[in-house]
Chains A and B, each alone.
Chain A
Amino acid sequence: MQMVLNHIRGKAVVFTGHSLGGAIAALAALHYLCILSSSWAYAPAPPVLCVTFGSPLLGNKALSKAILREQWASSFCHVVSQHDVIPRLLFCPLDAVPAHVIIGMQLQQLPMCVLGMGRVGAAVASRMADTNQEALRQLIQEHAGVAAIEQKLDATETRGGSPYWPFGTYVLCSPDGAACVDIPTAAVQMLYATFAARCMPETSTVSPEAAHSCYGNLVQSMPQHLLLKRRLGALPATAAPAVSNYDAGISLALEASGITGEATEAAPARQWLKTSKHVGRSPNLNCASLSIRLGRITPCRAQIEWYKASFDGDTGYYDAFKQRRSPKKFHKANMYRIKLGQFWDGVLSMLDTSQLPHDFHRRAKWVNAAHFYQLLVEPLDIADYHRHNLHRTRGSYISHGRERRYELFDKWWKQKGCTGTGADSGDTSTTAAAARRSKFAGLTQDPCFWARVEEARDQTESAKGEHDAAVLAMKLESLREFERYSSELVESKEVSVDVLAPQSSYSLWVEEWKELKLRDEVRSILFQF
């Protein structure tokens, strides 16, 4: 597997599989995507597509969200037929599924692989199915229904239910066509609704194994559906003729998914199809309106820059904010800080739910805006974190206190930096050397600089009272490392003037550190005697 992946690295790949094979295909695709995103970060990654047929559910809500966040959801396409039990099986709690069903499922894999064994397997499965068919169906319908209702009630945790959750696009097939949904919540609802809608007598006779192995036929018939000019057959007489194209489209999709207009599930299913069919505006429109909001929020950033400037000669804005100097100014700045944070969190949540264009995080405008926001405001968040002493209760800021937005913005900025100067690493180093700063930067280029200063100050403090020589040596070494790092930043003028303000935490640390070094030297001299 690893070898295969290595072989195909960097190429466009389609993964596919049926039933359990589908799940494996999805796992492989995920693995491949992970490799791509870590090694291929600096150029547009090659497209990846994963198509599964009748695959069982693979992961929980967390996985589903993570896939959305990484914007991989569009790479996954799950084809599910109307009466297939397997994709819906995992809505039931594991202990509720009779063991023989699982065996049956495994056996069912065989017909697809080995034709000769197929009859035996099918026979076993059908025998099983004959006795349990109805019970199994009831069971699944019940649990899928429970999952659907729970989700409707917006229960935060599914108590006793199954943890499994769909991701990617679902193609719900019926003999009449196929309907697509690409929102997980809608997918759950539609999986239930299509399964529960069995009003037509002939469909109820379809055996599970038949439903599970009918994908070949479905795929074959799909292009025919595209060629057929379709009209709404089951349109109720009461419906007004002046239905909008959009509504007509929804009705067609509903019919295609195998739910007839008369079924009780029709109304909710229609609703969910609508949610899935982007009733909201398209990503590009969202992005445009977001630009307007960015324009409106930008003055807040300018105000914080003024706040920063007003303390540049004194304590620096980091310490002024931490000590809440000049309360009225602090109140204003804090307000702007919170507003900006809410705005960017809103942007990220839109991004997570795929409401923004897929290349949003590569657009220079947004990457730059996010980066400058981060450089200016993250020091204030660090100050807030340390003022509340969260670094003692929750752990250091860099590892435990950073907002997710900052980590993402870091990633965006790094990607941008590398694509901007070209792939040749030698080239980048020369340009960087050529563009040496002659003045101090407007904003400190390391957003976490102040968190490191705080850590260094803490460590200096603890080193002062340290008696154990080995521990002390360790602490001094890490302090020296910080000294190297910070003095390099200062020398290359990568910091803003506020860092060097006379009363800033950094200036205070430099003093403390000098004192500590002196003491250490004196001690080592004494030690020699």
Chain B
Amino acid sequence: MVCFLSSAYFSDKVFFETVSQSANLDAIKMKLWEQISGNIVLGAYNQIPEWQLKLGPRDRGPVLVILDDVWSLSQLEELIFKFPGCKTLVVSRFKFPSLVTRTYEMELLDEEAAFSVFCRSAFDQESVPQTADKKLVRQVVAECRGLPLALKVIGASLRDQPPKIWLSAKNRLSRGEAISDSHETKLLERMAASIECLSGKVRECFLDLGCFPEDKKIPLDVLINIWMEIHDIDEPDAFAILVELSNKNLLTLVNDAQNKAGDLYSSYHDFSVTQHDVLRDLALHMSGRDALNNRKRLVMPRREESLPRDWQRNKDTPFEAQIVSIHTGEMKESDWFQMSFSKAEVLILNFASSVYYLPPFIATMQNLKALVLINYGTASATLDNLSAFTTLNDLRSLWLEKITLPPLPKTTIPLKNLRKISLVLCELKNSLRGSKMDLSMTFPRLSNLTINHCIDLKELPSSICEISSLENISISNCHDLTELPHELGKLHCLSILRVYACPVLWRLPPSVCSLKRLKYLDISQCINLTDLPEELGHLTNLEKIDMRECSRLRSLPRSSSSLKSLGHVVCDEETALLWREAEQVIPDLRVQVAEECYDLDWLVD
């Protein structure tokens, strides 16, 4: 509405920018200035002459800059332009009396609106159903004080609960009232009430979410893997926890993940999780109650240029943390200091740069089970200090995102316990191609290999087929991949093979048919695939095939009717006709015609 009213006065010179806690101020300043001045700035922001910033753009119309979610005074000082005719509207949880002269307090929802928002999230309708206690509902709504998020969160957490739970929630909410004035604290206390009702493990899992950076999508694969490693649960349980948290509005599943990723053989690669700032604050708030060295989760809440000072202050005492999460820009050798993490099991390194020096304290992490490196920069990063890997005897899983894979040296100390490697958006260069080295010696126990969105992957090295412990291979969205290695049949333990969304892959190697243990084959969206290997029927353990959008596949091998374990085929309308014959021979076969659905989630990076 502000924009609507103001557009008459400011014409089209209204600029909107979300700042958030760990914002890249330089980039925002640059973007705003470019929009205001209508020119492209070459080089850095500080190269713009001072007089230009003071005079403003050439055509002196009034300009309105709207800054959303501002967190600190220092941020705001940087972002306010002072040329004549420029107005700045700041949206924040805090007051900045030194800079902002006029403040408008946002009103919370009035009773009726609050009531309908609450009912919508608790009962899926605008009013209270007959069966519920109207008075009790009114009391709970009153406790939320019209804060939309609180209404939504508490409403969802009380959904389908017996009246007693409602009563106890109401009592707990009313007790939290006296804590403090600021909305944040109030909300956190209220939020905590919805966390209280979670069981022990689920609550711990929720607290783990605070380890991921604000406003970024959390890859579902990483999250579930970390939960599995730390809380000793297996995959279905981890997924159940995820669904529970999502149902209670404590996280948001992107891409309809609940239905799509819940299938028995589906992978988590294409799905992710987001969490609202307030909820993340809550997780940080709750796990930050202990003293620094005793904390179970040692987290940098926002991106900073170096490690936090209080970490440095306490660096001489060993840290008890189980999860360590670091969020920085570029890191050089000198930026790190030695710390001792003898109990750390998970290390999450978030950064945005093209060079990254791995922290030297990895050597002290004797128990490290999962290592996650995520680069949020625009180009893929090269790693330094690779020798850190040599001490990771217990490492079980490795996630690399947007990283230029280092060439594997000839003599690598084997990573004896590594089970899972995921390469996402990585540049493989020549590190895999043509490597004559014996991968089975380096990764003797590797069971899961995932390669996703790797743009320069043209072919898989055949030495991968020597790793006989592999059970699960997923290759997807590799747009240069033309063929799989001929020796693929050697992987006698392989039970899941996904090769999907590879548009130039033109055939599967015939040796695929000798994978006796294969249970699941996913070739969906391989739109250049013209036929399947003739001996496909030898895969007697195959239970499911996903072959959506294989539009050039016009025939099935004759042997396909002898796939006696096959129970489920997912395909398009045209390909479903091809299965008709096999459907009569194989008793339990169900051919499901999948509907194509389109969304715009992919447009958001």
Contacts and interface: CB of A to CB of B under 8 A. Distances in A.
Interface of A: 296, 299, 302-303, 306-307, 310, 324, 326-332, 334-335, 338-339, 342, 502-503
B552 interface: yes
Contact of A328 (B525, B527, B602): B602
Contacts of B425: 327-328
Contact of B455 (A303, A324, A329): A324
A307 B598 CA distance: 13
Main secondary structure of the interface of A (DSSP, over half): helix
Contact of B453 (A296, A307, A331): A331
A342 B605 contact: no
Interface residues of B, number: 20
A339 B551 contact: yes
Contacts of A299: 596, 598
A110 B268 CA distance: 81
Nearest to A331: B477
A302 B599 CA distance: 11
A25 to B, nearest CB: 40
A342 B477 contact: no
Given A303-B598, A306-B603, A334 B453 contact: no
B462 to A, nearest CB: 25
B501 A328 contact: no
10 contacts: A306-B600, A326-B605, A328-B605, A329-B605, A331-B479, A338-B503, A338-B528, A339-B549, A339-B551, A342-B527
B605 A335 contact: no
A297 B300 CA distance: 46
Nearest to B602: A332
Contacts of B40: 502-503
Nearest to B270: A328
**Pairs of residues from A and B, 7 with the lowest C-beta to C-beta distance, nearest first:** A331-B477, A299-B598, A332-B602, A502-B40, A338-B503, A310-B603, A327-B453
B552 A342 contact: yes
A331 B476 CA distance: 10
Interface of B: 40, 425, 453, 455, 477, 479, 501, 503, 525, 527-528, 549, 551-552, 596, 598, 600, 602-603, 605
A335 B527 contact: yes
A445 to B, nearest CB: 25
Given A328-B602, A334-B503, A339 B455 contact: no
Given A303-B598, A335-B501, A328 B551 contact: no
A201 to B, nearest CB: 44
Nearest to B35: A313
A335 B525 contact: yes
Given A331-B479, A342-B551, 6 more contacts: A303-B600, A307-B603, A331-B477, A338-B503, A339-B549, A502-B40
Nearest to B453: A327
Contacts of B600: 303, 306
B122 to A, nearest CB: 35
Which residue of B479, B503, B602 has the most chain A CB atoms within 10 A of its CB atom? B602
Contacts of A335: 501, 503, 525, 527
B603 A338 contact: no
B376 to A, nearest CB: 12
B527 A329 contact: no
Which residue of A306, A329, A331 has the most chain B CB atoms within 10 A of its CB atom? A331
B605 A296 contact: no
B415 to A, nearest CB: 27
A329 B455 CA distance: 12
Contact of B501 (A302, A306, A310, A331): A331
Contacts of B503: 334-335, 338
B479 A339 contact: no
Nearest to B599: A303
A329 B479 contact: no
Nearest to A307: B603
Nearest to A299: B598
A334 B549 CA distance: 14
Contacts of A307: 603
A342 B528 CA distance: 9
Contacts of B501: 331, 335
A299 B598 CA distance: 7
A307 B602 CA distance: 9
B342 to A, nearest CB: 38
Given A296-B596, A335-B503, A329 B551 contact: no
A520 to B, nearest CB: 24
Contacts of A334: 479, 503
A332 B525 CA distance: 11
Contacts of B549: 339
A469 B598 CA distance: 56
Contacts of B528: 338
